Amino acid sequence: MASSTIRHVVIVGGGSAGWLTAGLIAAEHRASAPDGLRVTLIESPDVAPIGVGEGTWPSMRDTLRRIGVSESAFFRECDAAFKQGSLFARWSSGQENDYYFHPFSLPQGYGEADLVERWQQAHAQVPFADLASYQPHLCMAGRAPKQAATPEFAAVANYGYHLDAGKFGLFLKKHCLERLGVHYVPDHVLGIASHENGDIAALRTQHHGLLEGDLFVDCTGMRSLLLGQHYGVPFLSQQHVLFNDTALAVQVPYASEDTPIASQTTSTAQQAGWIWDIGLPTRRGVGHVYSSAHTTDEEAERALRAYVAASGGPQDCPAPRKIGFQPGYRERFWHRNCVAVGLSSGFIEPLEASALAMVELSAAMIVDELPVTREHMDVVARRFNETFRYRWERVIDFLKLHYVLSRRGNSSYWLDNRAPESVPERLRELLSLWRYRAPMRGDFPRIEEVFPTASWQYVLYGMGWRNDAGATRRGDGALADSYFREAADLTRRMLPALPANRELLAHIRAHGLPRT
C-alpha cells in the first residue's frame, strides 16, 4: 500500500464543493482519457445541498475557465449576475449615511505610492475606496464590469459572480458527466471499509456494493462523514471570536422586470448580526445572519421582514429558511488518504463570501499537488494542512476586523464583538502596527494570501480607522494625488461606456459573449 500509485479519486458528496472538485481534478488529470486518472463522485439522492452560497470571488472566473465551461452558458443556466465587490451599510456608526465599499479592483497606484497617508492628510472627507478606485462608482451606478463585445471571462473591471447555488451544482454536474469523464454513483454510503494501516479502502454503498479508491475527498457538508465521523478529526469552534451561528434566508422577487440588478453584495448591519442582499437576474437572495446568543429567531425574522419591505420587496414574503451552523474548522483537513473540501472542512459565516473561495483553493491545491503514490501523500497532506490552517486563521482575522472596528454601541452583540478577549492575538498585533502605518504586503507573508493587503485597507479605512497623525512618513503626496486623479478619470470614462448590469445580462442570455 505504501508505494501504490494513485489511480482512482472518489469524491463523496455533490453540491458546489463536490462538483467543483470533481471538475478540476478531472480536467487537469485527463479523467476522460483511457490512461487518465479515474474520478468518481458518489452522492445520496436524498440529501439536498444547502444551496445558499450565492457569492463568489473573481477567482471563480479562472476556475470555470480551467474546467472548460462556457461563461455564457454559466450565466444562462445558473441565473448568474456580476459581482464587483461588497457594500457595507451601517457597520461603522450605524447611521443612515454610514457605508463603504470593498471593491474587487485594486486602488489605482496600489504599491506605487502611499495612498493611505495622502488620503488621510488631504482627502479624508471622501471614503477611501471612492477616492482610490473607480469601482465603487460603477456599483453605485449599477454598471456591468464589461461590455457586450468583451470576450468570456475577460474584464474591464474585475468581477466575480452572484449565482443560484442549486442551479450551479446541477450545471457543474452536467459538465463533469458530459465533458470531463467523471463517473457518477447516486447511492447512499452505509459504511467504510479500512486497510490494516487505517487508510480508507472502500465505501460500503446501499446498491453498488464496495466502492474502492486510492484518495477519498469528503464533500459531505457539515456532517463531515469521512474526516469528522469516521476519523474523528476534532472540530475547532471559533464561536468565541465570531458569534454568528444562524441564518434565515428568503428569495425575494423584483418589483418589476426592469428593476436594476445590484452590481455588489450589500451587507447591512443589524442589532445582532447583518443582512445580505444579492441580486440575481430573476430575484434577490436575502438573508439575516445572527447570533442566537444575542437575539431570538422571532426577532431576527422581524428584522429580515422589515428589511425586505423597506428595500422594495413584498410585505408578505414567504417564511424564511432557517440554517444553523457552528463557526470553525477541522484540526486537520487531510488525514491519511482522506481530504475534506467545503463545509466538511469548516465554515465561518457568509460575510465576504469566503466559503466557495475556500472550496476553489482546496480543490486547486489537490489538483496541483496530487500525489503520485501513497508514500508521497503524507508529504502533500502535511503541506495541505499547514496551508489551510493558515488560510482559515486569515479568514477569521479578516472577518473579525469588520466587527472589532465598529462603533455601534446599541446592543450587547456589537459591544461583545469589541471585547478584547474575543479578538485573536494576531489581529490585535496587526492593529497595534496599523496605528502608525497602513497595512503592508509584509504583514501577510504568503505569496498566495486569501485576502490581499488592499482588501485589509479597504475595510480598515472604510470602518473609520485612522493612523496616528504624529507617525506620518511624508510620502510623495503629488504621486498619490496623480493616482487619485487617474481613478477619477477612469470613472468618468467608464460610466458612460459600460452598460447597466441588467442590460448586459439580458444581452448574454439572448446572444452570449464572444469566445476567446
CA distances from 275 to 95, 101, 262, 303 (A): 16, 16, 15, 9
In tens, the pLDDT along 240-261 reads: 999 999 999 999 999 999 999 9
342 has pLDDT over 80: yes
Question: How far apart, in whole angstroms, are the C-alpha atoms of residue 73 and residue 260?
Answer: 22
Calculate mean pLDDT across residues 365-378: 96
In tens, the pLDDT along 20-47 reads: 999 999 999 999 999 999 999 999 987 7
Cell numbers that stand for 476 in this block = 510623495
* Residue 87 near residue 135, CB atoms below 8 Å: no
Calculate mean pLDDT across residues 316-338: 96
Calculate mean pLDDT across residues 508-514: 98
Bridge partners of residue 289, in order along the sequence: 247, 274
Question: How far apart, in whole angstroms, are the C-alpha atoms of residue 84 and residue 129?
Answer: 13
Beta strands in 92-167 (DSSP E): 99-103, 160-162
* Residue carrying C-alpha cell 506620518: 472
Question: How far apart, in whole angstroms, are the C-alpha atoms of residue 454 and residue 444?
Answer: 11
CATH 3.20.20, domain 246-324, yes or no: no
**pLDDT for 171:** 97
DSSP state of 74: H
- Per the model's pLDDT, the better-predicted residue between 52 and 271 turns out to be 271
**pLDDT for 46:** 79
Q: Which CATH number fits domain 8-54+164-239+327-392: 2.170.120.12, 3.30.465.10, 3.50.50.60, 2.60.120.10?
A: 3.50.50.60
Average pLDDT score over the chain: 95
CA terminus-to-terminus distance, the chain: 45
Residue ranges of domains in the chain:
8-54+164-239+327-392, 246-324
* Residue 391 near residue 450, CB atoms below 8 Å: yes
Model confidence at 368, in pLDDT bands (50, 70, 90)? very high
Question: How far apart, in whole angstroms, are the C-alpha atoms of residue 450 and residue 393?
Answer: 10
Question: What one-letter code names the amino acid at 429?
Answer: E
Calculate mean pLDDT across residues 390-394: 97
In tens, the pLDDT along 421-461 reads: 999 999 999 999 999 999 998 999 888 899 999 999 999 99
Model confidence at 227, in pLDDT bands (50, 70, 90)? very high
356 has pLDDT over 90: yes
Model confidence at 3, in pLDDT bands (50, 70, 90)? low
Calculate helix-pair angle for 477-497, 115-122, nearest 10 degrees.
Answer: 90
In tens, the pLDDT along 480-504 reads: 999 999 999 999 999 999 999 999 9
105 has pLDDT over 90: yes
Question: How far apart, in whole angstroms, are the C-alpha atoms of residue 436 and residue 453?
Answer: 16
Beta strands in 294-388 (DSSP E): 321-324, 328-330, 334-335, 338-340, 346-347
Cα Rg for the chain, rounded, in angstroms? 23
Model confidence at 2, in pLDDT bands (50, 70, 90)? very low
Bridge partners of residue 279, in order along the sequence: 284
Lowest mean pLDDT among 212-221, 320-329, 443-452: 443-452
